Structure 1
């Protein structure tokens, strides 16, 4: 019954009116009127907003569409500043920078926000501010005695920032558009080589062929990761995220192209091979055939998590990681609600509205790009209208909206939200501008015009007009309506150039229709408690709470009720459980429990161990990192554990010790050794964000103006047999 209601509401939202000068939604209405001098006036539940004439102008049959395009430009003008500030930097004093700020509530430059916004077209609108902001997020190393390089900064974040969060690589998604400036291009090439090399050293897992770290932008862990990560982010540092791996794939592709342009044939070959291998690993590891979707993240041992995110899915499609029918399925199977597409799915019943139960316009813009990539007119229409509706009903391009109502606040007790929101959020502003320039008028990165316009949008955009146009400084794009509309997608037919005007006569084609998925359950089940594991008869007895799905060492054991036996040949397993809900959707995993007693080595460095049997072993450190809160900071401790076993080459294992609430285990590395060998373990200093010169301006915590901090209280070294299957 719920799915029928949602489908009816979705149809009503699309076809009830043409959205010319007004829009109705959930009992409220907005109206756009044209005023003298080329401006607009928007009236709605937020009040009234007057919008002056802008330098770019859309001319369609819809004053609402055209006026919201002007509103986005007005928002962008307010986000264009000569100085930025944040309380955690330089004690909140203004920092000169001809830049874009992140939004009304965020007068600073953040790596991921700026990078996605620039990629969504701001590179074309204001290249000076785009470059300046990106330069601001580059840094060299402040200690001359440390290995030098030019690196993209990971902003303050989960457990002390990089390498718990590793999506700083998104910077190159933006920088690739601005290489016409020779000096900037030189910085990009240097930073690309240095940043990729550093990530290869500290966050790449050669056994799985993937990069570790948090999902891009989904950085409030309780919203999208298991609830138990609220107190311990080591799981996140050990895990693999779809979005972050796709971003690394795109950075490797760029590196191969730039190496070729710099006559570095060996570098181009190396990067090209790494990109191809990463693409294959993403498709092998993240694709879930029974869902026809890419999972949002995997556990560090490869454990699948029945959770999905729209940004990762869209990036996979746009980048070409997902191809052909798989790309079409991934988008078609991602659920939609009448107001738009959620940024994560399924939702969490115990979490407030923010990433959970929410629409984010910048993610909708990437979903729109993905829909254009696979020629999906239904999804193009859906994401375009969602972006329009949000801006119209709020009177600004807000950061996020509640999923069902598309409101900026829903009162739901302790789950109320969005918890945090902001007008004129930069990537939301960019989303609207990109929706117009590329989503409707088809303006591609290289300047070509490739419209893919659903026939369902003709009543709104064309009305009775023969043509619509986009006027930009130095260029005009005109789309001419075809004589007939026999089909469901309008694409370029004849293209003529008349001076600075490109005139495209559209033609209608019929493409396979992919209906929106409107029957998906909203919530995932609540995760069960952790299993209890005890040794029994050369194996392990696992006790669980009721009916669950059991996982051991990255593999699905199956459905069990109460208890089961695992034969591991004497190797103690690490297990977790999920609970099934509607349509077989699984909850997030319970806490992970590892059986057996590891070998414990203490008493200083180096530490020595005699290998009992040939094979692979999991090695971790017991530690405590008191340098900051688990939510933020730049002082995740990073070390290199060097293992020298008799007769073998040294093995170097990166170990991450995020901020902690007490003593806990670090991330683990895998060491291989032969029976009887004597292995010596030593620690070498690693690298974290506090080592960057930029963070000498950080006054919000340790590792900033008081100097780099990369340490932790380190206790025992723990060794256990490795049972995961790479």
Structure 2
């Protein structure tokens, strides 16, 4: 049974709205908030004073702490408003004019996913003009002289950025809120057409029915992917992540909407693609033995289940309604929690420092809160509100992240210390806190609907002895009236009235949903929640017309993406096709990430840099990779992942094309794979130029690596083409 660890400290004494001060204590640390007659506050965060000025929006509740932290979030939002941005990797660190939101105190730039998630949570409704300008900064035309259109920039990232990282479509999650401006709406429509067409051609896998690429936001490779990706991110670019696919689904739905408004016939294509994508997301990411949706699954060559789960992906899927209702409810209820709140990934990796691993990120908690409201998950609503308040109060700022159990901004554990990187007033954390107040407590949604869903357990803290609490956003006053009886789990609207600029909601208590029991595979390990260590690659010994593979005790062998029941040894027979294997280790409750693959069977190496010829003895399916070296940047950043089109010409068959990616490498390695059905006879393979992020005008000021100020760079040193006959992979239904 899933163990939801009880929170060990109350949020502080319940006080009336006239109280002058309030304490919040957690993990042996205390914060104190006090108010003054002019509407300002002081916050003592673990002994450090923070002055908070009176703000345009005000809450009046039974908690001085709650009211003070709401004001703090507004103050920090204002501090993130800038007229210029800067980063050492752009314009040599000199200011770039932009009336924008910067990403945080220590991140004074505009990053695509950060500003987009922040806009979707709160900024688009609170400051639409500056939010539009921030988003427009991430739009770009191409500078390669041959690619028309407008595109969203994928920021520097794993292996040289897009398409290893492919979550730039998160931009449209934000843009959908700002289409009342006709100029911006037109830009959004242009960017949708260019970006979606490019992603469909280079990132979408028609047979699997999913988009390839890294998890959104969880972009520090070995923090959440197997440690063997530290020096080879090719697998990441070939795998399929839940969060990124949900973002593609949302972008397709927006494209459908705008296409219909423009009378564009592509609306039907966008609708069809979105519907098919939703079906594949549900079918391929759901893991019944965990009662949960996986964070990512393996590449087409080995589409294994990965025992890694991430809260942002699940929350985005719930909110996009791509999960069936009952599975959505189970996924939210089953996701583990610890003392500090909901960690962004589960389980944790014992040999990784604290950052995404073993951490709570406030903006993800805000999405979790939004998703919990969507499925009436009372426990999760309460947990996220408490976690957001505690983190903000004890740090004295809306920090980027916290260690998951203590909500500390840093924990000293030697090589595993962390969070490794942190920043005060992180923009998406600020937006997440504002979203918690507006939606999570007062139920004021972005579309103007007022639908509070407030756990009864929070009534003593938020109401104190008061009969009502109030939010004044500068235009409208929202008043929530406490019911006489608290004989349920959740407070919802009983009757809503509007008089002038005052909206009054009489609350009533209703029962919560029936509890959900999780399988043991996802249960919270009582001491640490660490997954077993990732095994080494399976070893195969050639024996006669096959191979013998030893399966260690407590391990599971995966063959061509399917778990086997082999114990001790498994024989893989030689059948003229290539077969790939990996191992996982299972503990009493949790499962490890997968080992590297071991592939058995024929593989031909055709020497050459750009053209190859091969004679097929019979019609077959082949998997093709390039052996290459891309020294144009480090594994963790840059914009020069080499992207090419692999062209196959066989007698009597139409020309086939597929994208191959050669990310930044450490010496020689294999590219992503392309698969083709080829007839008997001769086939010719050749490379054509593709597209990468260095081709965007946006990166003309980039000086943090190659492909920026020195011009477009989309190349790698190719030494051979590797070709293997392979079994068919289950196609998308």
Q: If the TM-score is normalised by the length of the shorter chain, which range does it land in?
A: over 0.9
Counterpart Cα distance in 1 of 2:59 and 2:566: 56
Deviation at 1:544, TM superposition (A): 4.6
2:578 corresponds to which residue? 572
2:378 corresponds to which residue? 377
Counterpart Cα distance in 1 of 2:728 and 2:426: 43
In the TM superposition, what are the counterparts of 1:356-375 in structure 2 within 5 Å?
A: 356-375=357-376
Deviation at 1:516, TM superposition (A): 9.5
Residue 710 in structure 1 maps to residue 706 in structure 2: no
Contact 1:121 1:434 in 2 (8 A): yes
Deviation at 1:502, TM superposition (A): 1.2
Residue 300 in structure 1 maps to residue 267 in structure 2: no
Contact 1:528 1:545 in 2 (8 A): no
In the TM superposition, what are the counterparts of 1:178-577 in structure 2 within 5 Å?
A: 178-264=178-264, 266-301=265-300, 302-514=303-515, 519-521=523-525, 522-561=529-568, 563-567=569-573, 569-577=575-583
Counterpart Cα distance in 1 of 2:577 and 2:705: 43
Contact 2:224 2:356 in 1 (8 A): yes
In the TM superposition, what are the counterparts of 1:60-139 in structure 2 within 5 Å?
A: 60-139=61-140
Counterpart Cα distance in 2 of 1:335 and 1:273: 35
Q: Secondary structure at the residue paired with 2:356?
A: coil
Counterpart Cα distance in 2 of 1:143 and 1:668: 25
Deviation at 1:688, TM superposition (A): 0.2
Counterpart Cα distance in 2 of 1:16 and 1:721: 65
Distance change >3 Å, CA 614–CA 689, structure 1 → 2: same
Q: After alignment, is 593-602 or 533-542 more displaced? A: 533-542
Contact 1:476 1:501 in 2 (8 A): yes
Residue 684 in structure 1 maps to residue 688 in structure 2: yes
Alignment equivalent of 1:719, drawn from 716, 719, 723: 723
Counterpart Cα distance in 2 of 1:15 and 1:91: 46
Q: Deviations over 1:570-605 (max 9, x none)?
A: 32311110111131x221111111113411112354
2:35 corresponds to which residue? 34
Deviation at 1:294, TM superposition (A): 0.3
Contact 1:572 1:721 in 2 (8 A): yes
Contact 1:618 1:719 in 2 (8 A): yes
Counterpart Cα distance in 1 of 2:376 and 2:369: 10
Counterpart Cα distance in 2 of 1:372 and 1:19: 26
Contact 1:378 1:516 in 2 (8 A): no
Contact 2:576 2:601 in 1 (8 A): no
Counterpart Cα distance in 2 of 1:173 and 1:184: 14
Q: Deviations over 1:509-556 (max 9, x none)?
A: 113243797951201000111111244343322135554210111111
Counterpart Cα distance in 2 of 1:500 and 1:538: 81
Deviation at 1:122, TM superposition (A): 0.5
Deviation at 1:724, TM superposition (A): 5.3
Contact 2:12 2:461 in 1 (8 A): no
1:175 corresponds to which residue? 175
2:159 corresponds to which residue? 159
1:581 corresponds to which residue? 587
Counterpart Cα distance in 2 of 1:238 and 1:39: 52
Alignment equivalent of 2:9, drawn from 13, 33, 53: 13
Q: Deviations over 1:301-322 (max 9, x none)?
A: 3111111000001111111011
Q: Secondary structure at the residue paired with 2:416?
A: coil
Contact 1:378 1:513 in 2 (8 A): no
Contact 2:12 2:23 in 1 (8 A): no
Q: Secondary structure at the residue paired with 1:650?
A: strand
Alignment equivalent of 2:638, drawn from 629, 633, 637: 633
Deviation at 1:352, TM superposition (A): 0.2
Contact 1:83 1:97 in 2 (8 A): yes
Q: Deviations over 1:372-398 (max 9, x none)?
A: 000111110001100110000000000
Deviation at 1:445, TM superposition (A): 2.0
Contact 2:10 2:25 in 1 (8 A): no
2:19 corresponds to which residue? none
Counterpart Cα distance in 1 of 2:665 and 2:306: 24
Counterpart Cα distance in 2 of 1:205 and 1:539: 31
**Cα RMSD (Å):** 1.7
Q: Secondary structure at the residue paired with 2:567?
A: strand
Deviation at 1:473, TM superposition (A): 2.1
Q: After alignment, is 530-539 or 253-262 more displaced? A: 530-539
2:703 corresponds to which residue? 699
Counterpart Cα distance in 1 of 2:479 and 2:683: 71
Q: After alignment, is 20-29 or 215-224 more displaced? A: 20-29
Q: Deviations over 1:404-437 (max 9, x none)?
A: 1110011111100000000000000001000000
Alignment equivalent of 1:664, drawn from 645, 666, 669: 669
Counterpart Cα distance in 2 of 1:182 and 1:640: 37
Deviation at 1:723, TM superposition (A): 2.6
Counterpart Cα distance in 2 of 1:700 and 1:645: 43
Counterpart Cα distance in 2 of 1:360 and 1:516: 26
Contact 1:90 1:698 in 2 (8 A): yes
Distance change >3 Å, CA 235–CA 502, structure 1 → 2: same
Q: Secondary structure at the residue paired with 1:54?
A: coil
Q: Secondary structure at the residue paired with 1:711?
A: coil
Distance change >3 Å, CA 482–CA 706, structure 1 → 2: same
Counterpart Cα distance in 1 of 2:63 and 2:230: 47
Contact 1:547 1:559 in 2 (8 A): no
Q: Secondary structure at the residue paired with 1:601?
A: strand
Counterpart Cα distance in 2 of 1:560 and 1:721: 28
TM-score, normalising length: structure 1: 0.96
Q: Secondary structure at the residue paired with 2:438?
A: helix
TM-score, normalising length: structure 2: 0.96
Q: Deviations over 1:164-195 (max 9, x none)?
A: 00011100000000001100000001101110
Contact 2:332 2:377 in 1 (8 A): no
Q: After alignment, is 482-491 or 323-332 more displaced? A: 482-491
Counterpart Cα distance in 1 of 2:622 and 2:544: 23
Contact 2:554 2:587 in 1 (8 A): no
Contact 2:574 2:601 in 1 (8 A): no
Contact 2:608 2:721 in 1 (8 A): no
Counterpart Cα distance in 2 of 1:234 and 1:542: 25
Q: Secondary structure at the residue paired with 2:557?
A: strand
Counterpart Cα distance in 2 of 1:617 and 1:368: 46
Q: Which runs of 5+ in 2 are unaligned?
A: 17-21
Q: Deviations over 1:451-493 (max 9, x none)?
A: 1111111111111211111111222211111222221111112
Q: Secondary structure at the residue paired with 1:558?
A: coil
Contact 2:693 2:699 in 1 (8 A): yes
Distance change >3 Å, CA 273–CA 14, structure 1 → 2: farther
Counterpart Cα distance in 2 of 1:136 and 1:482: 47
Counterpart Cα distance in 2 of 1:515 and 1:379: 12
Deviation at 1:280, TM superposition (A): 0.5
